[in-house]
Chains A and B, each alone.
Chain A
Amino acid sequence: MEFKTLVFYFLSAILLFAALRVITARNPVHAALFLILSFFSAGCIWALLRAEFLAIAIVLIYVGAVMVLFLFVVMMLNINVDRLREGFWRYLPLGALVGILMVLEMAFILGGDYFSKLQPHAPQMAAGYSNAKAVGRLIYTDFVYPFELASVVLLVAIVAAIAIAYRGPKKTKYTPPGKQLRVHADDRLRVLKMQAEKDE
């Protein structure tokens, strides 16, 4: 066995273990941390396959930005784990059956002739070859149209989120001093004439 293969199996084992722990961990913070671990292992596997740009991107974007944000959200929301877990055992047999069937089907297709023949064509790159350069070059030339469209998707997402969530300026307790000074007692105070109670 080549050393590279050994590293691959080692990283894959960590990835699978971490992915499994994401859905089995009791504590949501632990689950989020395991998700970070699984992303990181996936990044390492990509680096092993010489896709270093993807590896850096997943570490920077998913591990660095998305998951940290996610972790904050998980910590701030007090999630009731036990309620989420209701019915876990009841649904497990059906879920497991569907999962196993899907794995078998995929194995059937992917294990077939086609994909095993495709593997030996891994390209041999020159020493100075840079993935980031190649990706960047394609994005700004051949793929400029989908690249711009992706930016429209993001813009729509921003507009949609604001349109749904924005509820006007927040009414804080702050009062402008000018307004405060113009207040008269009559505006705020009402004097009621009441009959005095007589002490017996």
Chain B
Amino acid sequence: MTLAELSFKLPDLLPAGAEIFLLTMACAILLIDLFVKDKERTPTFALTQFTLVVCAAFTVWLSSGDATPTQTFSGMYVADFFGAFLKLTLYIVVCVVLFYARTYMLERAPAAKGEFYSLALFATLGMMVMISANHFLVIYLGLEILSLSLYAMVALQRDSVRATEAAMKYFILGALASGLLLYGMSMIYGATGTLDITRVANALGGHGTGHLLTQTGLTKTIHDAAISANAAAGGNKMVLILGLVFLVAGLGFKLGVVPFHMWIPDVYHGAPTGVTLFIGTAPKLAAFAVVMRLLVGGLATLAGDWQQMLIILAVLSLAIGNLAAIAQTNIKRMLAYSTISHMGFMLLGLVSAVGAGVDDAAIKAYSASMFYVITYVLTSAGAFGMILLLSRSGFESEELDDFKGLNKRSPWFAAIMMILMFSMAGIPFFVGFFAKFAVLQAVVEAGRVWLAVLAVVFSLIGAFYYLRVIKLMYFDPPEDATPIEVPGEIRLLISLNALAVALFGIFPQQLMAMCFTTLQLSL
């Protein structure tokens, strides 16, 4: 083969600059950490945070110009406002999570202090890849980078039997979920002849599968020819639906919605709390992005089918998540079940876009979901952060009883926890209320009043266990009078976190409008 035959143009690397920088830094930090003598790994920690800040600056700079989505790497990578906004949220969340988890992980996993940061950065890379993916293969690879890092992070506390067991469960179920997802993707490939999300959408939309054939190999052309011959007969509908079922099942696993939720309580409970904090926050953003890219971006023509599937998942999650959370005595398990119910609630927004088209009403419904997931991540980062702060070396503050009389021990922390719990319960004038309200509004506008009523009923049931935490903090005597020692910067950070939850509750419009605009510019 001569060079002329290789009609290949070097892809534009600039849109993916943040990913490339993060990968380079993750590798560099991995090496630098070997020479760090500091017991507390301060240089590693500082470099990790520096990387996140530079990535954030780069993403802002890149998206400050042109609003049209740009594609690179043969259309496998897409840089748009939706991705940029989610990535910015992701950097902030990871940064805050690493601050909260630092002391805790130093004590719990002394042998792998530096690896915690490298793995966290690799996980962040996986999430960024997922957020910007425009190709089934890239989505899968991003997911694997994220999942592998998470399995390892759970197992970092290797002398704990519970953590090892949680890692094993997470690994096996996660591998199964990846298998389901891949199988679904292969079926959709069989039906449409392409793995590129834009091309899948075009193939299903029926308007000319040929016009995007600029960068394809031989097999794709042959497949496309077969597709056009077959699409008319409608023979691939069944194959598509089969693929869709597997795809939704795989995504359900990653989001942790019923009936694919089995791993959530065990992993949240067994993992070191610092890792639970990581698993319970940032990956939700990436999972949401993948759901949007795959179902809304690629398979919008099948919206009628996946909406039905998601409604079932959502209703089951709301019911089982909220009811099972009541029975928990461990606050990590309680928050795990609460995650399940919140993810179910978030799905309600996704199913509320009427029809397959993308009009303003549909964007409003999707942006309600986006608002929900962003505010949930913010709130749950604070809640898990509180559990971390109350823990100290040799003591895990993870039973509900450990929160007894917190008001007497530290009124300020009790107030912070109260704000977070109120927000999760959806009590008015905290951000959780507006998130629920926006989703419910979309559900009612889509004409599914029964669904909205169900969601409200289960949220009311759910309010019980959030309010129980507040009751324990304010009306029960403390069992443990040890003073709470928290470094100043963490105290400031968690206060800011709670303040953000309260402030977004008073002024939700800005964030809501931002979600709406980013989706409008990207879909």
Contact = CB atoms under 8 A, between A and B. Distances in A.
A3 to B, nearest CB: 25
A109 B217 CA distance: 27
B148 A160 contact: yes
Interface residues of A, number: 35
Given A114-B235, A134-B217, A146 B135 contact: yes
A117 B230 contact: yes
A153 to B, nearest CB: 5
Contacts of A142: 74, 215, 217
B156 A164 contact: yes
B434 interface: no
A38 to B, nearest CB: 19
- Of A118, A123, A156, chain B has the most CB atoms within 10 Å of the CB of A156
Given A117-B229, A160-B151, A153 B218 contact: no
A25 interface: no
B461 interface: no
Contacts of B119: 156, 159-160, 163
A61 interface: no
B6 A149 contact: no
A164 B158 CA distance: 7
Contacts of B149: 156, 160
Contacts of B129: 149
A7 interface: no
Identify which of A109, A159, A166 gathers the most chain B CB atoms within 10 Å of its CB: A159
The number of chain B residues touching the other chain, given as a range, is 35 or more
B45 interface: no
A188 to B, nearest CB: 31
Contacts of B145: 149, 152-153, 156
A163 B112 contact: yes
Contact of A123 (B137, B218, B238): B218
Contacts of A115: 190, 239
A185 B23 CA distance: 55
Nearest to B75: A142
Contacts of B236: 114
Interface string B392-403: 000000000000
Contacts of B122: 152, 155-156, 159
Contacts of B215: 142
Given A109-B239, A112-B235, A159-B122, A150 B141 contact: yes
Contacts of A91: none
A117 to B, nearest CB: 6
A90 interface: no
A168 B111 contact: yes
A172 interface: no
Interface string B152-164: 1001101000000
Nearest to B20: A148
B412 interface: no
Contacts of B16: 145
A85 interface: no
A121 interface: yes
A109 B138 contact: no
For A138, A157, A163, which residue has the most chain B Cβ atoms within 10 angstroms?
A163
B156 A152 contact: no
A109 B241 CA distance: 10
A73 B274 CA distance: 35
A112 B142 CA distance: 33
A83 interface: no
A182 interface: no
A145 B76 contact: yes
A134 B238 contact: no
A30 interface: no
A167 B190 CA distance: 47
Given A152-B141, A162-B115, 19 more contacts: A109-B238, A109-B239, A112-B238, A112-B239, A114-B230, A118-B190, A121-B225, A123-B222, A137-B1, A141-B74, A142-B215, A149-B129, A149-B142, A153-B141, A159-B118, A160-B149, A161-B152, A163-B156, A164-B158
Interface of A: 109, 112-115, 117-118, 121, 123, 133-134, 137-138, 141-146, 149-150, 152-153, 155-157, 159-164, 166-168
Top 8 A-B residue pairs of the complex, sorted by shortest distance between their CB atoms: A160-B152, A145-B73, A163-B115, A114-B235, A149-B141, A113-B235, A141-B8, A142-B74
Interface of B: 1, 6, 8, 11, 16, 23, 27, 30, 73-74, 76-77, 111-112, 115, 118-119, 122, 125, 129, 135, 137-138, 141-142, 144-145, 148-149, 151-152, 155-156, 158, 190-191, 215, 217-219, 222-223, 225-226, 229-230, 233, 235-236, 238-239, 242
9 contacts: A121-B225, A121-B226, A134-B218, A146-B135, A146-B137, A149-B129, A153-B144, A161-B152, A164-B155
